[in-house]
Amino acid sequence: MQASNQPYCPLCTSINLCGVNDTTKPCWCTLEKVPEALIQRVPDAEKGKSCICQACIKKFNLVGEDNFTAL
């Protein structure tokens, strides 16, 4: 995946702690499985540019798709 220049989660706009710009170690986002339905929530302009943060993935997995609301 191309390195992101945007350190913010596109869903909650918190710092996503993505490490794709850190070439010394792989980012957690390359290991974590991001639900397809969650990726669908990323605005088209942001897709492939910024990582969804771990908090949003965890929240999504906890509450399920129906009740999920991006903050």
List residues near Zn ion by CB under 5 A.
9, 11-12, 53, 56
Nearer to Zn ion, 3 or 15 (CB): 15
Local structure of residue 4 (DSSP, 8 states): P
Nearer to Zn ion, 44 or 46 (CB): 46
Question: 2: left (phi > 0), else alpha (psi -120 to 50), else beta?
Answer: beta
Residue whose C-beta lies closest to Zn ion:
9
Nearer to Zn ion, 24 or 49 (CB): 49
